[in-house]
Amino acid sequence: MYNTVIIGAGPGGYVSAIRLSQLGKKVAIIEKEHVGGTCANKGCVPTKALLSSAHLYDEIISKSNKFGINVNSVAYDINKIDDFLTAIVSQTRKGIEFLFKKNNIEFIKATAEIVDKNHVQADNIILETENIILAHGSEPAIFPPFNKIDGIWTSDDFFTNLKDLSDPILIVGGGVIGIEFATFLASLGKKIYIVELMDHILPSEDLDVVQEIKRNLLRKGVEIYEKHRVMEITRNDEIYVSKIEGNGNVTEIKSSKILLAVGRKPVIPDDVKKLGVEINKGVKTDLNMKTNIENIYAVGDIRADIMLAHVAMYEGIVAAHNIAGEDKKMDYSTVPNVIFSNPEIATVGIKEKDANPEEVIVSKFPISANARAKTMNEKNGFAKVLVDKSSKKIIGLSIVSPNATDMIMEGVLAVKYGLSTNHLMDAIHPHPTLTEIILGSIEGAEGKAIHI
Protein backbone atom coordinates (compact mmCIF):
# COMPACT_ATOMS: atom_id res chain seq x y z
CA MET A 1 0.00 0.00 0.00
CA TYR A 2 1.33 3.39 -1.04
CA ASN A 3 0.39 6.67 0.53
CA THR A 4 0.45 8.30 -2.93
CA VAL A 5 0.84 7.18 -6.53
CA ILE A 6 1.77 9.98 -8.92
CA ILE A 7 1.11 9.69 -12.65
CA GLY A 8 3.62 11.74 -14.62
CA ALA A 9 7.22 12.63 -13.72
CA GLY A 10 7.26 16.18 -15.07
CA PRO A 11 7.91 19.23 -12.86
CA GLY A 12 4.66 18.89 -10.91
CA GLY A 13 4.92 15.13 -10.51
CA TYR A 14 8.55 14.68 -9.53
CA VAL A 15 8.57 17.65 -7.12
CA SER A 16 5.44 16.38 -5.34
CA ALA A 17 7.03 12.93 -5.07
CA ILE A 18 10.17 14.30 -3.45
CA ARG A 19 8.27 16.51 -1.02
CA LEU A 20 5.95 13.66 -0.01
CA SER A 21 8.97 11.47 0.66
CA GLN A 22 10.52 14.25 2.75
CA LEU A 23 7.26 14.32 4.73
CA GLY A 24 7.61 10.59 5.46
CA LYS A 25 5.19 9.18 2.90
CA LYS A 26 5.61 6.05 0.76
CA VAL A 27 5.46 7.17 -2.86
CA ALA A 28 5.50 5.63 -6.33
CA ILE A 29 5.70 7.67 -9.52
CA ILE A 30 4.82 6.33 -12.96
CA GLU A 31 6.13 7.82 -16.21
CA LYS A 32 5.66 6.39 -19.70
CA GLU A 33 8.38 8.46 -21.40
CA HIS A 34 11.31 10.38 -19.87
CA VAL A 35 11.45 11.90 -16.40
CA GLY A 36 11.33 15.69 -16.38
CA GLY A 37 8.27 15.97 -18.60
CA THR A 38 7.87 18.63 -21.26
CA CYS A 39 10.09 21.11 -19.43
CA ALA A 40 13.21 18.95 -19.28
CA ASN A 41 12.79 17.19 -22.61
CA LYS A 42 10.81 19.35 -25.05
CA GLY A 43 10.48 22.79 -23.49
CA CYS A 44 12.24 24.94 -20.91
CA VAL A 45 15.60 23.19 -20.67
CA PRO A 46 16.38 22.34 -24.32
CA THR A 47 15.06 25.71 -25.50
CA LYS A 48 17.37 27.57 -23.12
CA ALA A 49 20.31 25.41 -24.20
CA LEU A 50 19.65 26.46 -27.80
CA LEU A 51 19.24 30.09 -26.81
CA SER A 52 22.53 30.04 -24.88
CA SER A 53 24.33 28.92 -28.03
CA ALA A 54 22.52 31.45 -30.21
CA HIS A 55 23.09 34.29 -27.75
CA LEU A 56 26.83 33.64 -27.58
CA TYR A 57 27.02 33.49 -31.38
CA ASP A 58 25.07 36.73 -31.69
CA GLU A 59 27.18 38.46 -29.01
CA ILE A 60 30.44 37.57 -30.77
CA ILE A 61 29.17 38.89 -34.09
CA SER A 62 27.62 42.09 -32.76
CA LYS A 63 30.00 43.08 -29.96
CA SER A 64 33.45 41.56 -30.32
CA ASN A 65 34.92 44.38 -32.40
CA LYS A 66 33.65 47.09 -30.05
CA PHE A 67 35.00 45.17 -27.06
CA GLY A 68 38.43 45.00 -28.67
CA ILE A 69 38.30 41.29 -29.40
CA ASN A 70 39.56 40.35 -32.85
CA VAL A 71 37.68 37.41 -34.32
CA ASN A 72 38.73 36.33 -37.79
CA SER A 73 35.64 34.31 -38.55
CA VAL A 74 32.57 33.09 -36.72
CA ALA A 75 30.45 30.12 -37.66
CA TYR A 76 28.04 27.85 -35.85
CA ASP A 77 27.94 24.06 -36.02
CA ILE A 78 24.35 22.83 -35.68
CA ASN A 79 25.58 19.31 -34.90
CA LYS A 80 27.57 20.54 -31.90
CA ILE A 81 24.68 22.74 -30.77
CA ASP A 82 22.52 19.62 -30.90
CA ASP A 83 25.15 17.66 -28.95
CA PHE A 84 25.18 20.34 -26.26
CA LEU A 85 21.38 20.30 -26.04
CA THR A 86 21.31 16.50 -25.82
CA ALA A 87 23.92 16.47 -23.05
CA ILE A 88 22.01 19.02 -20.98
CA VAL A 89 18.73 17.10 -21.33
CA SER A 90 20.48 13.85 -20.38
CA GLN A 91 22.08 15.44 -17.32
CA THR A 92 18.69 16.81 -16.23
CA ARG A 93 17.02 13.40 -16.54
CA LYS A 94 19.81 11.67 -14.62
CA GLY A 95 19.62 14.32 -11.91
CA ILE A 96 15.91 13.67 -11.37
CA GLU A 97 16.43 9.88 -11.35
CA PHE A 98 19.17 10.34 -8.75
CA LEU A 99 16.76 12.36 -6.59
CA PHE A 100 14.23 9.53 -6.77
CA LYS A 101 16.82 7.09 -5.45
CA LYS A 102 18.05 9.52 -2.80
CA ASN A 103 14.51 9.98 -1.49
CA ASN A 104 13.51 6.30 -1.72
CA ILE A 105 10.84 6.96 -4.34
CA GLU A 106 9.76 3.99 -6.43
CA PHE A 107 10.04 5.00 -10.07
CA ILE A 108 8.10 2.88 -12.55
CA LYS A 109 8.62 3.41 -16.28
CA ALA A 110 5.28 2.32 -17.71
CA THR A 111 1.95 3.53 -19.01
CA ALA A 112 -0.36 4.12 -16.06
CA GLU A 113 -4.06 3.34 -16.10
CA ILE A 114 -6.34 4.29 -13.24
CA VAL A 115 -8.50 1.34 -12.20
CA ASP A 116 -10.39 3.24 -9.50
CA LYS A 117 -9.64 5.93 -6.94
CA ASN A 118 -7.41 3.58 -4.93
CA HIS A 119 -5.78 1.44 -7.62
CA VAL A 120 -3.47 2.25 -10.52
CA GLN A 121 -2.23 -0.27 -13.05
CA ALA A 122 1.32 0.10 -14.38
CA ASP A 123 1.69 -2.43 -17.19
CA ASN A 124 0.92 -5.73 -15.43
CA ILE A 125 1.24 -4.46 -11.86
CA ILE A 126 -1.64 -3.01 -9.85
CA LEU A 127 -0.64 -0.53 -7.15
CA GLU A 128 -2.89 0.11 -4.17
CA THR A 129 -2.78 3.67 -2.88
CA GLU A 130 -4.47 6.05 -0.48
CA ASN A 131 -4.05 9.05 -2.82
CA ILE A 132 -3.43 9.75 -6.48
CA ILE A 133 -1.84 12.84 -8.03
CA LEU A 134 -2.69 13.47 -11.68
CA ALA A 135 0.33 15.07 -13.36
CA HIS A 136 -0.13 13.96 -16.96
CA GLY A 137 1.17 17.19 -18.49
CA SER A 138 0.31 18.62 -21.88
CA GLU A 139 0.89 18.30 -25.60
CA PRO A 140 1.06 20.81 -28.46
CA ALA A 141 -2.26 22.11 -29.72
CA ILE A 142 -2.78 21.33 -33.42
CA PHE A 143 -5.89 21.99 -35.48
CA PRO A 144 -7.04 22.67 -39.09
CA PRO A 145 -5.54 23.44 -41.48
CA PHE A 146 -2.25 22.44 -39.82
CA ASN A 147 -3.26 18.87 -38.96
CA LYS A 148 -4.13 18.19 -42.61
CA ILE A 149 -0.67 18.94 -44.04
CA ASP A 150 2.26 16.55 -43.69
CA GLY A 151 5.52 17.71 -42.16
CA ILE A 152 4.34 20.67 -40.10
CA TRP A 153 6.35 20.93 -36.88
CA THR A 154 5.11 21.54 -33.39
CA SER A 155 7.45 22.65 -30.61
CA ASP A 156 7.89 18.96 -29.70
CA ASP A 157 9.09 18.18 -33.22
CA PHE A 158 11.58 21.04 -33.36
CA PHE A 159 14.23 19.36 -31.21
CA THR A 160 14.18 16.07 -33.11
CA ASN A 161 14.55 17.96 -36.40
CA LEU A 162 17.15 20.46 -35.23
CA LYS A 163 19.65 19.48 -37.93
CA ASP A 164 17.10 20.26 -40.64
CA LEU A 165 16.76 24.03 -40.30
CA SER A 166 16.41 25.00 -43.95
CA ASP A 167 14.75 28.37 -44.25
CA PRO A 168 12.59 30.40 -44.69
CA ILE A 169 10.62 29.22 -41.66
CA LEU A 170 7.07 30.33 -40.92
CA ILE A 171 6.22 30.44 -37.21
CA VAL A 172 2.50 30.43 -36.52
CA GLY A 173 1.94 32.00 -33.11
CA GLY A 174 3.75 34.98 -31.62
CA GLY A 175 3.41 33.97 -27.99
CA VAL A 176 6.20 32.88 -25.69
CA ILE A 177 6.97 29.64 -27.56
CA GLY A 178 7.02 31.30 -30.97
CA ILE A 179 9.13 34.26 -29.87
CA GLU A 180 11.75 32.10 -28.16
CA PHE A 181 12.14 29.92 -31.25
CA ALA A 182 12.19 33.01 -33.47
CA THR A 183 14.94 34.51 -31.29
CA PHE A 184 17.05 31.36 -31.67
CA LEU A 185 16.54 31.01 -35.42
CA ALA A 186 16.96 34.70 -36.26
CA SER A 187 20.18 34.84 -34.22
CA LEU A 188 21.56 32.12 -36.50
CA GLY A 189 20.66 34.22 -39.54
CA LYS A 190 17.58 32.27 -40.62
CA LYS A 191 14.81 34.01 -42.52
CA ILE A 192 11.76 33.96 -40.26
CA TYR A 193 8.12 34.94 -40.66
CA ILE A 194 5.83 35.23 -37.62
CA VAL A 195 2.04 35.22 -37.94
CA GLU A 196 0.09 36.29 -34.84
CA LEU A 197 -3.70 36.42 -34.64
CA MET A 198 -3.88 38.98 -31.83
CA ASP A 199 -3.17 42.72 -32.00
CA HIS A 200 0.53 42.21 -31.32
CA ILE A 201 3.06 39.49 -30.56
CA LEU A 202 3.28 38.48 -26.89
CA PRO A 203 -0.34 39.58 -26.45
CA SER A 204 -0.33 39.17 -22.67
CA GLU A 205 2.42 41.79 -22.27
CA ASP A 206 2.27 45.59 -22.21
CA LEU A 207 2.82 47.20 -25.58
CA ASP A 208 6.01 49.02 -24.53
CA VAL A 209 7.48 45.69 -23.44
CA VAL A 210 6.56 44.11 -26.76
CA GLN A 211 8.04 46.96 -28.80
CA GLU A 212 11.52 46.35 -27.40
CA ILE A 213 11.44 42.73 -28.53
CA LYS A 214 9.78 43.52 -31.83
CA ARG A 215 12.46 46.05 -32.75
CA ASN A 216 15.20 43.51 -32.15
CA LEU A 217 13.49 40.86 -34.25
CA LEU A 218 12.87 43.31 -37.09
CA ARG A 219 16.55 44.30 -37.03
CA LYS A 220 17.37 40.65 -37.60
CA GLY A 221 15.16 40.54 -40.66
CA VAL A 222 12.15 38.81 -39.10
CA GLU A 223 8.87 39.68 -40.83
CA ILE A 224 6.00 39.98 -38.36
CA TYR A 225 2.34 39.82 -39.36
CA GLU A 226 0.10 40.84 -36.47
CA LYS A 227 -3.69 40.59 -36.58
CA HIS A 228 -3.30 37.93 -39.28
CA ARG A 229 -4.45 34.34 -39.50
CA VAL A 230 -3.48 31.42 -41.70
CA MET A 231 -6.31 30.66 -44.11
CA GLU A 232 -4.86 27.97 -46.31
CA ILE A 233 -1.70 25.90 -46.71
CA THR A 234 -0.58 23.92 -49.71
CA ARG A 235 2.62 21.96 -50.17
CA ASN A 236 4.49 21.93 -53.43
CA ASP A 237 7.41 19.47 -53.28
CA GLU A 238 9.52 20.84 -50.40
CA ILE A 239 7.87 24.29 -50.27
CA TYR A 240 4.86 25.28 -48.18
CA VAL A 241 2.65 28.05 -49.56
CA SER A 242 0.61 29.72 -46.83
CA LYS A 243 -2.13 32.24 -47.45
CA ILE A 244 -2.60 34.58 -44.52
CA GLU A 245 -5.33 37.17 -44.09
CA GLY A 246 -5.24 40.40 -42.13
CA ASN A 247 -6.68 43.89 -42.42
CA GLY A 248 -8.70 42.80 -45.44
CA ASN A 249 -5.62 41.70 -47.37
CA VAL A 250 -4.35 38.24 -48.29
CA THR A 251 -0.59 37.64 -48.30
CA GLU A 252 1.21 34.58 -49.62
CA ILE A 253 4.26 33.26 -47.75
CA LYS A 254 6.53 30.56 -49.12
CA SER A 255 8.58 28.62 -46.60
CA SER A 256 10.63 25.46 -46.27
CA LYS A 257 9.24 24.75 -42.83
CA ILE A 258 6.19 25.67 -40.75
CA LEU A 259 6.42 25.67 -36.96
CA LEU A 260 3.05 25.68 -35.19
CA ALA A 261 3.57 27.43 -31.86
CA VAL A 262 0.10 28.33 -30.64
CA GLY A 263 0.30 26.78 -27.19
CA ARG A 264 -0.41 23.46 -25.51
CA LYS A 265 -3.45 21.51 -24.32
CA PRO A 266 -3.77 19.21 -21.30
CA VAL A 267 -3.38 15.45 -21.66
CA ILE A 268 -6.55 13.96 -20.15
CA PRO A 269 -6.80 10.25 -21.04
CA ASP A 270 -10.01 8.23 -20.88
CA ASP A 271 -9.17 6.60 -17.54
CA VAL A 272 -9.00 10.04 -15.92
CA LYS A 273 -12.34 10.99 -17.44
CA LYS A 274 -13.94 7.72 -16.27
CA LEU A 275 -12.66 8.38 -12.76
CA GLY A 276 -15.26 11.13 -12.48
CA VAL A 277 -13.06 14.14 -11.76
CA GLU A 278 -14.61 17.44 -12.76
CA ILE A 279 -13.18 18.73 -16.04
CA ASN A 280 -13.62 22.16 -17.56
CA LYS A 281 -10.84 23.05 -19.95
CA GLY A 282 -8.60 20.93 -17.72
CA VAL A 283 -9.00 18.96 -14.51
CA LYS A 284 -10.55 21.29 -11.95
CA THR A 285 -9.09 21.61 -8.45
CA ASP A 286 -9.42 23.84 -5.43
CA LEU A 287 -6.49 25.83 -4.04
CA ASN A 288 -5.35 22.75 -2.12
CA MET A 289 -4.92 21.06 -5.53
CA LYS A 290 -7.73 18.64 -4.62
CA THR A 291 -10.29 17.56 -7.22
CA ASN A 292 -13.94 16.85 -6.50
CA ILE A 293 -12.86 13.35 -5.47
CA GLU A 294 -11.49 13.42 -1.91
CA ASN A 295 -8.20 11.56 -2.46
CA ILE A 296 -7.46 12.68 -6.03
CA TYR A 297 -5.22 15.69 -6.66
CA ALA A 298 -4.08 17.33 -9.91
CA VAL A 299 -1.05 19.52 -10.59
CA GLY A 300 0.61 21.14 -13.58
CA ASP A 301 -0.55 21.37 -17.16
CA ILE A 302 -3.38 18.84 -16.81
CA ARG A 303 -5.22 21.66 -15.00
CA ALA A 304 -4.95 23.83 -18.16
CA ASP A 305 -4.54 26.95 -16.07
CA ILE A 306 -1.09 28.55 -15.80
CA MET A 307 1.07 26.20 -17.86
CA LEU A 308 4.48 27.04 -16.41
CA ALA A 309 7.00 24.61 -14.93
CA HIS A 310 7.58 26.68 -11.80
CA VAL A 311 3.84 26.85 -11.19
CA ALA A 312 3.54 23.07 -11.60
CA MET A 313 6.41 22.58 -9.13
CA TYR A 314 4.76 24.68 -6.46
CA GLU A 315 1.39 23.06 -7.09
CA GLY A 316 3.14 19.74 -6.48
CA ILE A 317 4.48 21.03 -3.16
CA VAL A 318 1.03 22.30 -2.14
CA ALA A 319 -0.57 18.95 -3.01
CA ALA A 320 2.08 17.07 -1.02
CA HIS A 321 1.54 19.12 2.13
CA ASN A 322 -2.22 18.72 1.93
CA ILE A 323 -1.89 14.96 1.49
CA ALA A 324 0.34 15.01 4.58
CA GLY A 325 -2.49 16.57 6.57
CA GLU A 326 -1.67 20.27 6.39
CA ASP A 327 -3.83 23.05 4.95
CA LYS A 328 -1.63 24.68 2.32
CA LYS A 329 -3.11 26.78 -0.47
CA MET A 330 -1.84 28.01 -3.83
CA ASP A 331 -1.34 31.74 -4.35
CA TYR A 332 -1.33 32.62 -8.04
CA SER A 333 -1.16 36.40 -7.53
CA THR A 334 2.63 36.65 -7.72
CA VAL A 335 3.57 34.12 -10.39
CA PRO A 336 6.62 35.40 -12.30
CA ASN A 337 6.45 35.17 -16.09
CA VAL A 338 9.73 34.91 -17.94
CA ILE A 339 10.49 35.00 -21.67
CA PHE A 340 13.96 34.21 -22.98
CA SER A 341 13.81 36.63 -25.88
CA ASN A 342 16.57 39.11 -26.66
CA PRO A 343 16.50 41.12 -24.49
CA GLU A 344 14.79 38.95 -21.90
CA ILE A 345 11.36 39.78 -20.45
CA ALA A 346 10.24 39.13 -16.89
CA THR A 347 7.07 40.32 -15.20
CA VAL A 348 5.20 39.83 -11.95
CA GLY A 349 2.02 41.24 -10.48
CA ILE A 350 -0.25 43.71 -12.24
CA LYS A 351 0.62 44.99 -15.70
CA GLU A 352 0.05 48.57 -16.77
CA LYS A 353 -2.58 47.58 -19.35
CA ASP A 354 -4.65 45.95 -16.60
CA ALA A 355 -4.29 48.68 -13.98
CA ASN A 356 -6.61 51.59 -13.19
CA PRO A 357 -4.50 54.65 -14.10
CA GLU A 358 -6.25 56.65 -11.37
CA GLU A 359 -5.00 54.29 -8.68
CA VAL A 360 -1.40 53.57 -9.67
CA ILE A 361 1.90 55.31 -10.25
CA VAL A 362 3.81 53.98 -13.26
CA SER A 363 7.54 54.64 -13.37
CA LYS A 364 10.13 53.49 -15.92
CA PHE A 365 13.90 53.55 -15.85
CA PRO A 366 15.79 52.96 -19.12
CA ILE A 367 18.65 50.52 -19.34
CA SER A 368 20.55 53.10 -21.40
CA ALA A 369 21.10 55.10 -18.17
CA ASN A 370 22.59 52.12 -16.32
CA ALA A 371 26.37 51.90 -15.87
CA ARG A 372 26.55 48.12 -16.05
CA ALA A 373 24.51 48.09 -19.25
CA LYS A 374 26.96 50.55 -20.78
CA THR A 375 29.85 48.21 -20.03
CA MET A 376 27.90 45.46 -21.80
CA ASN A 377 27.09 47.67 -24.79
CA GLU A 378 23.38 47.21 -24.07
CA LYS A 379 20.99 50.06 -24.83
CA ASN A 380 17.55 48.51 -25.22
CA GLY A 381 15.23 47.82 -22.32
CA PHE A 382 13.88 49.17 -19.07
CA ALA A 383 12.38 48.39 -15.69
CA LYS A 384 8.80 49.51 -15.08
CA VAL A 385 7.23 49.50 -11.65
CA LEU A 386 3.57 49.89 -10.71
CA VAL A 387 2.94 51.38 -7.29
CA ASP A 388 -0.38 51.70 -5.48
CA LYS A 389 -0.96 55.44 -4.98
CA SER A 390 -2.55 55.20 -1.56
CA SER A 391 -0.34 52.61 0.16
CA LYS A 392 2.85 53.07 -1.91
CA LYS A 393 3.08 49.28 -2.12
CA ILE A 394 4.70 47.76 -5.18
CA ILE A 395 2.01 45.86 -7.09
CA GLY A 396 3.73 45.09 -10.39
CA LEU A 397 7.13 44.99 -12.07
CA SER A 398 8.12 44.46 -15.70
CA ILE A 399 11.75 44.15 -16.76
CA VAL A 400 13.10 44.11 -20.31
CA SER A 401 16.84 43.59 -20.04
CA PRO A 402 19.66 41.08 -20.20
CA ASN A 403 19.27 38.80 -17.17
CA ALA A 404 15.72 40.02 -16.58
CA THR A 405 14.66 36.45 -15.84
CA ASP A 406 17.05 36.36 -12.88
CA MET A 407 16.37 39.89 -11.63
CA ILE A 408 12.59 39.48 -11.37
CA MET A 409 12.82 37.77 -7.97
CA GLU A 410 13.22 41.16 -6.30
CA GLY A 411 9.83 42.07 -7.73
CA VAL A 412 8.29 38.72 -6.77
CA LEU A 413 9.24 39.23 -3.12
CA ALA A 414 8.16 42.88 -3.17
CA VAL A 415 4.70 42.11 -4.59
CA LYS A 416 4.12 38.93 -2.55
CA TYR A 417 5.00 40.50 0.78
CA GLY A 418 3.52 43.95 0.17
CA LEU A 419 6.79 45.86 0.22
CA SER A 420 6.64 49.62 -0.31
CA THR A 421 8.81 51.89 -2.39
CA ASN A 422 10.69 52.88 0.77
CA HIS A 423 11.50 49.26 1.55
CA LEU A 424 13.30 48.80 -1.78
CA MET A 425 14.82 52.29 -1.85
CA ASP A 426 16.35 51.59 1.56
CA ALA A 427 17.86 48.32 0.31
CA ILE A 428 21.35 49.06 -1.02
CA HIS A 429 21.68 47.72 -4.55
CA PRO A 430 25.19 46.72 -5.67
CA HIS A 431 26.90 48.95 -8.22
CA PRO A 432 27.44 48.60 -11.10
CA THR A 433 24.72 46.01 -11.73
CA LEU A 434 21.63 45.74 -13.87
CA THR A 435 19.49 45.48 -10.72
CA GLU A 436 19.94 49.23 -10.34
CA ILE A 437 17.36 49.74 -13.09
CA ILE A 438 14.78 48.36 -10.64
CA LEU A 439 15.98 50.82 -8.01
CA GLY A 440 15.85 53.62 -10.56
CA SER A 441 12.24 52.85 -11.48
CA ILE A 442 11.22 52.82 -7.80
CA GLU A 443 13.02 56.11 -7.12
CA GLY A 444 11.16 57.53 -10.10
CA ALA A 445 7.83 56.51 -8.60
CA GLU A 446 8.69 58.75 -5.63
CA GLY A 447 9.91 61.57 -7.89
CA LYS A 448 13.46 61.00 -6.64
CA ALA A 449 15.21 59.35 -9.57
CA ILE A 450 18.92 60.13 -9.37
CA HIS A 451 20.41 58.84 -12.61
CA ILE A 452 17.92 60.25 -15.13
Contacts of 448 (CB under 8 A, 6+ apart): 425
Identify the helix (H) or strand (E) that includes residue 235: strand 229-236
Please state, for a pLDDT cut of 90, what percent of the chain lies above it: 94
Same domain for 421 and 393: yes
Tell which of 262, 289, 305 closes a domain: 262
pLDDT band of residue 60 (cuts 50, 70, 90) is: very high
Same domain for 51 and 18: yes
Query: What DSSP assignment string belongs to 156-171?
Result: HHHHHTTT---S-EEE
Quick check: is 435 in a domain?
Answer: yes
Q: CA 189, CA 78: separation in Å to the nearest integer?
A: 13
pLDDT band of residue 395 (cuts 50, 70, 90) is: very high
Quick check: is 51 in a domain?
Answer: yes
Same domain for 120 and 169: no
Same domain for 429 and 316: no
> Across residues 155-164, what is the average pLDDT?
89
Torsion, Cα of 92, 98, 102, 106 (10° steps)? 100
Same domain for 258 and 162: yes
pLDDT score recorded for residue 172 = 98
Q: CA 443, CA 47: separation in Å to the nearest integer?
A: 36
Range from 99-113, 128-142, 143-157, 182-196 carrying the lowest mean pLDDT: 143-157
Same domain for 124 and 158: no
Of the candidates 191, 229, 32, 9, the one whose C-alpha atom is nearest the C-alpha of residue 111 is: 32
Q: CA 2, CA 132: separation in Å to the nearest integer?
A: 10
> Across residues 288-300, what is the average pLDDT?
97
Same domain for 85 and 10: yes
What is the domain range of residue 200? 146-262
Same domain for 402 and 311: no
CA atoms within 13 A on the CB side of 348: 24
pLDDT score recorded for residue 57 = 96
Contacts of 354 (CB under 8 A, 6+ apart): none
| CATH number, domain with residue 405 | 3.30.390.30
Q: CA 222, CA 255: separation in Å to the nearest integer?
A: 13
Torsion, Cα of 33, 37, 42, 47 (10° steps)? -150
Quick check: is 221 in a domain?
Answer: yes
pLDDT band of residue 381 (cuts 50, 70, 90) is: very high
pLDDT tens per residue, range 62-109: 999 999 999 988 999 999 999 999 999 999 999 999 999 999 999 999
Quick check: is 26 in a domain?
Answer: yes
Q: CA 296, CA 381: separation in Å to the nearest integer?
A: 45
Same domain for 77 and 39: yes
- List the catalytic residue out of 55, 136, 228, 431: 431
Decide if pLDDT at 161 tops 90. Answer: no
Quick check: is 60 in a domain?
Answer: yes
CA atoms within 13 A on the CB side of 306: 19
431 a catalytic residue: yes
Tell which of 262, 286, 304 closes a domain: 262
**What contacts 24+ positions apart, CB below 8 Å, involve 55-62?**
55/187, 55/342, 57/187, 57/188, 58/187, 58/342
For the chain, the domain total comes to 3
